[in-house]
Structure 1
Amino acid sequence: MSEQTGPLTEIRNFTEFLEQHLNRKVLEYSLKALTKPGDNFGAVVQSVDVKVAGNDLSDEPEHLHVVVKTPVTSPYLAELFKPAISFVKEVRFYSDIIPAVKQFEQTTNVPEDERLDAFIQSLGWRISLDPSAQSADSDAVLLLENVKLQNFANGDKSIGFGRDEAMATLKALAKFHALCIAMRRLQPELFNTKVNPYLLPLDATTKNDKQFESIYRELRLLDGLSPEMRNKIENVTRNGKEYNEILTRAPDSPYTTVVHKDLWINNIMTKRDATPTKVKIYDFQSFYFESFMHDLIFFLFTSVQNSDLKSNFKSLIDHYLAEFRKTMDFFKCPLDDYTSEKMWSEIRDKAHILLFRLLIRAKVTKANHDSTPQLHEVNKRNSPMERPASKVVLDQWKFIIDMFIENAFI
């Protein structure tokens, strides 16, 4: 009999699923929450402790430790994250895109120690108990390796990564972006059959414009901005909101690649006791086809400590660009489009698109950090987007906007 604990009380046919993908007889299993409340909204994530029979009759039972993801079921989160589609996208990332990257590295003779190792291993999946289903339902399951057992850990989103973790993440990100571009150029059939079919963006239509109108009003509370700059920032954020609601994929360019879209500290684990620091990236529910700039700038402004970002902004980006060019050069891809000047130009031309998303993420992430009694009572009654922007949120907005102005992004 299986013992089940935590918020997920039932996964239908789960014993059969585990036995199929672990290739072992399951004696019992237990489930418990793996993430803290507020750390993951797009799926239910739990650790699974599985007791399995030994390989031979005389062997003692073994305990295996894995991770299971299932779709969110609440109406509000289902409308927001569209699990029927997003869960399938994540499955396809593990079933098709990661194997395509590995195949490309193997056929192009990338040395073993230079191959990308930034993804968690998938152990199996299903999108439904109905084998003919094309969209995910409440019986969808994704089984993953539990890398916490290898000393990978999440960073503290209230603080952000330091320079070492940021550099390690940027190296992995640059390699992934460049590998996908090189695959598109050198092995287009592989790219078009295993990657391209899954690159349409999700419907990102905003359902409650009143919440976002409050952001435009609250931006006027920031000190030290001229009326002209306030108007410019408001126009930039409105245009960014409209851009992120467009449902078409970006046109091909030298800089378009597979981007994670939600690459921030909550979707990254690092292993600091390794030399160099190792990285695992996960939660591929929203990936699509866009400029590398989207992942790069979003990661830096959501995941790196402000002090490190302020002191090392240019060197962090230059580190990413150097790793990107190194990968492209290995495949003998022409580097004419990938000079530092041209890639910085791509960033400066398009970074303004992300300002709106960065302000939203900052408000959600920092919403609980003001502990004044008055705001505490308001916060208990409202979602992060409905809460008044606290001083902590406004300070973070000011930091982001000042960095954008300083680096000619707006």
Structure 2
Amino acid sequence: MDLKQLETIFDKNLGKNKKIVDIKSSNLVEKGENNGGELFKLDITVKNEETKEDSVLHVVGKTIPLIEKFQEIFNIQVTFKAEIIFYDKIVPILQQFQKENGMKNVITCFPKFYGGRLNLNGSNTVDKDGIIIMENLKMSGYTNLDRHVGYNLKESMLLLKDLAEFHSTVIAFKLKHPDLFFKEIRPVCNNHLQLSEENSFKDVIGIVEEILLQSKECTPYVPKIRKMWNEFKPDFSGENKREPFATITHSDLWVNNAMMKYVNGEPVKNKFVDFQLYNYGSPGFDILNFLFTSVQTNVLRMKFDDLIRFYHNEFVNNIKRLDCEYSKFSYSKFLKELELDSVQVLNWDLSFIPMVAFGQKGHALPDSNVVDFNDAQFKAMMVNNIPEEAKRRLHFMIEEYINRKWL
């Protein structure tokens, strides 16, 4: 990693008479754990020129993906800029709004932002010299959960509490300051993947079908799921979203994009990371996507409704704390919101659960040139290699959709 002119990003954070004298970098995550950008651990030695003492600042640097295909898929000319705006502008606006409305404990479920840049030439084009600098949460005791295990009940509730506060604070700000919201915030919430029509992973439905056919409850619905899959067109645009629930959504909320801190083995704090795809849309997508991709299947079977109601209670309580009308956010209307977003979640998670959430650790997603989901041998190999928990999760998701008449 070429760390040119990094000092300029830290000017306002270092303080007087302090200078960067050394930077050590190393990879932060394993190959295949983050396709939307390169993540580096940066240990920055800072010298106080008055006392001559050195201190070390532990941060994370995020740059654009090395692979050009992922630069296109993740739409970096939009998403990289928007991620900087989220940390630098939107988070402080929400925190100041909470303070103005008498809340002493403002939202803290985001990493500290040190700064960012698009390039070194001063243009508006993102290139390989673009970088986003945030605190290294691992140095503060935060960790990612094992994506092949997922969240237990306490961990899920802690995350959903923060998610409810985030979603509802945005909505409250929109209700109280609509002109400012639609002028300053709404325009940057259009960050979405660029999936081509010939995307080879559309053919992963063959693998999904093989898994679903292992469940007698799911088997009758396989033809309907294939038809839905082939006809589905994802809507990441943020246009024509339903009010009043429309809010800023993370839009990629799963195990790898959240970190948790523990004290004596108990989860006490949560942080959300990787806001490159945030959007203006339904909170239902974040909620259902997190539950199905990231919460342990046995927890979902026992507590799915409890977790949904817990989120809604936290959501409404925060709306009340911010002195906004809450009757329009009733539980029945909230359940309808989940139903309306369920099709998009299902189509996303059908491939995401087996191929990404439970994909082989330490390996990037397969290159499209060597993947043939229609080849019988390849398909059999993929099905056999998918962990049993992933298969149970897919079965549970379809069963839940059937029971709720979402499918």
TM-score (norm 2): 0.88
- Using the TM superposition, give the Cα deviation of residue 170 of structure 1 relative to its aligned residue in structure 2, in angstroms: 0.2
Residues 324-374 of structure 1 show CA distances to partners (whole Å, capped at 9, x for unaligned) of 0001111232222211112112212331221111011112232338xxxxx
8 Å contact kept, 1:368–1:379: no
Cα gap change, 1:32 to 1:198, in 2 (>3 Å): same
The aligned residue for residue 196 of structure 1 is 186
Cα gap change, 1:103 to 1:62, in 2 (>3 Å): same
Matched to 1:402, the amino acid is E
The aligned residue for residue 373 of structure 1 is none
1:153 aligns with 2:143: yes
8 Å contact kept, 1:238–1:356: no
- Using the TM superposition, give the Cα deviation of residue 382 of structure 1 relative to its aligned residue in structure 2, in angstroms: 4.5
The CA distance in 2 between the partners of 1:28 and 1:385, in whole Å, is 48
8 Å contact kept, 2:293–2:353: yes
Cα gap change, 1:21 to 1:130, in 2 (>3 Å): farther
Q: How many residues align?
A: 388
Any unmatched runs of 5+ in structure 2? none
Residues 182-230 of structure 1 show CA distances to partners (whole Å, capped at 9, x for unaligned) of 1011012332343112012425333534431341574155131577522
8 Å contact kept, 1:199–1:249: no
- Using the TM superposition, give the Cα deviation of residue 153 of structure 1 relative to its aligned residue in structure 2, in angstroms: 0.8
The CA distance in 2 between the partners of 1:226 and 1:191, in whole Å, is 43
1:342 aligns with 2:333: yes
The aligned residue for residue 375 of structure 1 is none
The CA distance in 2 between the partners of 1:339 and 1:173, in whole Å, is 18
The aligned residue for residue 4 of structure 2 is 12
Residues 240-277 of structure 1 show CA distances to partners (whole Å, capped at 9, x for unaligned) of x4034x64523341111000000001000011218762
The CA distance in 2 between the partners of 1:355 and 1:50, in whole Å, is 43
The aligned residue for residue 37 of structure 1 is 31
The CA distance in 2 between the partners of 1:345 and 1:126, in whole Å, is 41
8 Å contact kept, 1:257–1:289: yes
1:22 aligns with 2:14: yes
Cα gap change, 1:12 to 1:176, in 2 (>3 Å): same
Cα gap change, 1:339 to 1:237, in 2 (>3 Å): same
Match of 2:258 among 241, 257, 268: 268
The percentage of aligned residue pairs carrying the same residue is 24
Between 400-409 and 180-189, the greater mean CA deviation after superposition: 400-409
The CA distance in 2 between the partners of 1:340 and 1:310, in whole Å, is 21
Between 1 and 2, higher relative CO (CA 8 Å, sep ≥ 6) is seen in 2
1:354 aligns with 2:348: no
The CA distance in 1 between the partners of 2:300 and 2:247, in whole Å, is 25
8 Å contact kept, 2:208–2:350: no
Any unmatched runs of 5+ in structure 1? 1-7, 370-377
What's the C-alpha RMSD, in Å, of the aligned pairs? 2.6
Alignment of 1:10-409 (within 5 A): 10-18=2-10, 21-23=13-15, 24-56=18-50, 58-110=51-103, 112-113=104-105, 115-131=106-122, 133-216=123-206, 218-219=208-209, 222-223=213-214, 224-225=216-217, 229-239=221-231, 241-244=232-235, 247=237, 249-273=239-263, 277-364=268-355, 365-368=357-360, 382=370, 388=379, 389-391=382-384, 392=387, 393-409=390-406
The CA distance in 2 between the partners of 1:385 and 1:69, in whole Å, is 32
The CA distance in 2 between the partners of 1:358 and 1:70, in whole Å, is 27
- The secondary structure found in structure 2 opposite 1:25 is strand
Matched to 1:310, the amino acid is R
The CA distance in 2 between the partners of 1:323 and 1:263, in whole Å, is 18
The aligned residue for residue 4 of structure 1 is none
Cα gap change, 1:379 to 1:206, in 2 (>3 Å): closer
Matched to 2:126, the amino acid is A
TM-score (norm 1): 0.87
8 Å contact kept, 1:15–1:26: yes
Cα gap change, 1:201 to 1:29, in 2 (>3 Å): closer
8 Å contact kept, 1:155–1:266: yes
The aligned residue for residue 372 of structure 1 is none
Matched to 2:249, the amino acid is V
The CA distance in 1 between the partners of 2:132 and 2:144, in whole Å, is 20
